[in-house]
């Protein structure tokens, strides 16, 4: 970290990012914006971005404001102007890059899910624990924790406004794979993605459920399905279809129930085959004293029911989470001026920078990511071993 000429300016934190597609663009927005919105103890600097395609990564660097481009992530890690490595690659590269960065003395932010397997996540967590003793920090990117309404829901639950939790219902529904002609991408191949809707979407709602409840899931029972088992291979360089098809080796949808350690029951549904649903992450949590409900497609709102009020006048009420004393809102716009999806990555960058500056463990940690990975593995095991029994009809 370097000190700028002006003594009033904070030291810089050089960020290097591996990957430049959807998540790379979202993370770039967060790093580019965090220091301009929040008064940070360190100023993030977009030092370098890495990707295998030289022209594509250079174009991404120019578009998103990165000072340099590399075609080998090892060269990015070796740069003296990079103190933090942000991993935005497919899951099969997470462990190798994150562990190498930590061992090189860099802080790490890694996109979710933490890894493709429990073994990889365990190795990453062990590397993070070793690095912690040397002053390096590691965080996994579950950005939906940083939606102000979700953070406010956590505040209400932690304050006891819902009392003892009894039911938690989480769904994450998308429809971008409904068309069987949609091409085969890396997200549909187990060797790259680890799992399908389960890891892509289910990881988010498992993390949110455990984060909001403040405790881990103790057990799950699951079903999963791959509705379209073959898809066309991506078009050739000239844009024409090759006519070839490839196997889909991950799930299209997963449905599972769970029980938390204190006894609350939970249900989860993750699918990329829900026609008409673009990015519908929803949850409802019921407790002895009240309930909350949230819909990502209305992400500035939280529904809250206080069950201690008289029944004649009680019910769910809409809270517009845009006040300055709501989480993250002190640095944004006047009340009523809504935020969006991209702001979660700015909040994520802010939280990690502040943790690095103070030397405190960031959340969610790699250990939190490992816990999610263990739940995902348990869901896959349960779905694989599930047997369907036909009820025996009584004799006529």
Interval 348-358 mean pLDDT: 98
Beta bridge partners of 283: 170, 294
Residue-wise pLDDT tens digits, 10-47: 999 999 999 999 999 999 999 999 999 999 999 999 99
Q: Is 34 exposed, middle or buried (0-12, 13-18, 19+ CB in 10 A)?
A: buried
Interval 73-93 mean pLDDT: 98
Residue 110 in any domain: the answer is yes
Domain with residue 127: its CATH number is 3.40.50.720
Is the pLDDT confidence value at 310 over 80?
yes
Same domain as 123, residue 166: no
Residue-wise pLDDT tens digits, 150-190: 999 999 999 999 999 999 999 999 999 999 999 999 999 99
- DSSP string of 45-98, one letter each residue: EEEEEE-S-HHHHHHHHHHHT-SEEESSHHHHHH-TT-SEEEE-S-GGGHHHHH
Residue-wise pLDDT tens digits, 94-126: 999 999 999 999 999 999 999 999 999 999 999
Task: From 143, 177, 193, give the residue that closes a domain.
Answer: 143
Same domain as 290, residue 221: yes
Asked whether the bond before 113 is cis by omega within 30 degrees of 0, the reply is yes
pLDDT band at residue 341 under the 50/70/90 scheme = very high
Quote the number of domains for the chain: 2
Interval 321-350 mean pLDDT: 97
Same domain as 160, residue 126: no
pTM: 0.93
pLDDT value, residue 334: 97
Angle between helices 22-37 and 54-64 (to 10 degrees): 30
Residue-wise pLDDT tens digits, 225-252: 999 999 999 776 655 667 899 999 999 9
Same domain as 277, residue 155: yes
Burial track 109-124 (b if 16+ CB lie within 10 A, e otherwise): bbbbbbbbbbebbbbb
Same domain as 209, residue 327: yes
Residue 155 in any domain: the answer is yes
Mean pLDDT of the chain: 94
pLDDT value, residue 245: 95
pLDDT value, residue 69: 98
Is the pLDDT confidence value at 191 over 80?
yes
Same domain as 203, residue 68: no
CA distances from 173 to 170, 176, 197, 295, 328 (A): 10, 10, 9, 11, 26
Q: Is 59 exposed, middle or buried (0-12, 13-18, 19+ CB in 10 A)?
A: middle
pLDDT value, residue 393: 55
Task: From 96, 117, 143, give the residue that closes a domain.
Answer: 143
Interval 135-155 mean pLDDT: 98
Residue 241 in any domain: the answer is yes
Lookup: tokens for 9: 């300016």
Same domain as 121, residue 199: no
pLDDT band at residue 93 under the 50/70/90 scheme = very high
Residue 389 in any domain: the answer is no
Domain hosting 311: range is 148-298+300-339
pLDDT value, residue 8: 77
pLDDT value, residue 190: 96
Domain with residue 283: its CATH number is 3.30.360.10
The residues, ordered by sequence, that sit 6+ positions from 45 with a Cβ below 8 Å of its Cβ are 12, 13, 14, 15, 67, 81
pLDDT band at residue 4 under the 50/70/90 scheme = very low
Residue 5 in any domain: the answer is no
Interval 339-347 mean pLDDT: 98
Same domain as 318, residue 217: yes
pLDDT value, residue 242: 72
pLDDT value, residue 395: 59
pLDDT value, residue 239: 57
Residue-wise pLDDT tens digits, 294-306: 999 999 999 999 9
Same domain as 63, residue 98: yes
Burial track 327-360 (b if 16+ CB lie within 10 A, e otherwise): bbbeebeeeeeebeeebbbbbbbbbbbbbbeeee
pLDDT value, residue 9: 86
């Amino acid at each position: 970290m370097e000190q700028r000429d002006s003594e009033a300016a904070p030291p810089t934190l050089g960020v290097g990012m591996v990957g430049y597609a959807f998540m790379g663009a979202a993370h770039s927005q967060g790093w580019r914006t965090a220091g301009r919105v929040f008064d940070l103890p360190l100023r993030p600097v977009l030092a370098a971005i890495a990707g295998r395609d030289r022209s594509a990564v250079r174009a991404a660097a120019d578009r998103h404001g990165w000072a340099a481009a590399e075609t080998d992530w090892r060269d990015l890690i070796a740069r003296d102007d990079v103190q933090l490595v942000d991993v935005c690659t497919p899951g099969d590269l997470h462990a190798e890059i994150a562990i190498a960065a930590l061992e090189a003395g860099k802080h790490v932010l890694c996109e979710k899910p933490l890894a493709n397997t429990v073994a990889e996540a365990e190795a990453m967590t062990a590397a993070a624990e070793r690095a912690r003793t040397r002053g390096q920090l590691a965080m996994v990117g579950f950005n939906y924790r940083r939606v102000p309404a979700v953070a406010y829901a956590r505040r209400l639950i932690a304050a006891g406004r819902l009392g003892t939790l009894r039911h938690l219902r989480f769904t994450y529904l998308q429809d971008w794979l409904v068309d069987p002609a949609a091409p085969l991408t890396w997200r549909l191949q187990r060797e790259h993605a680890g799992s399908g809707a389960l890891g892509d979407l289910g990881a988010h709602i498992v993390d949110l459920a455990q984060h909001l409840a403040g405790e881990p899931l103790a057990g799950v029972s699951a079903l999963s399905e791959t509705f379209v088992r073959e898809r066309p291979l991506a078009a050739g360089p000239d844009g024409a279809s090759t006519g070839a098809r490839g196997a889909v080796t991950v799930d299209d949808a997963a449905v599972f129930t769970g029980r938390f350690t204190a006894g609350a029951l939970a249900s989860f549904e993750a699918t990329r085959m829900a026609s008409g649903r673009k990015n519908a992450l929803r949850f409802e949590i019921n407790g002895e004293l009240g309930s909350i409900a949230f819909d990502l497609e209305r992400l500035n709102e939280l529904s809250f029911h206080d069950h201690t009020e008289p029944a004649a006048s009680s019910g769910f009420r809409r809270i517009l989470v845009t006040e300055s004393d709501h989480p993250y809102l002190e640095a944004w716009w006047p009340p009523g001026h809504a935020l969006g999806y991209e702001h979660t990555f700015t909040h994520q960058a802010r939280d990690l920078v502040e943790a690095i500056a103070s030397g405190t463990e960031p959340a969610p940690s790699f250990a939190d990511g490992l816990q999610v990975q263990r739940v995902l593995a348990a869901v896959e095991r349960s779905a694989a071993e599930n047997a369907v029994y036909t009820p025996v009809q009584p004799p006529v």
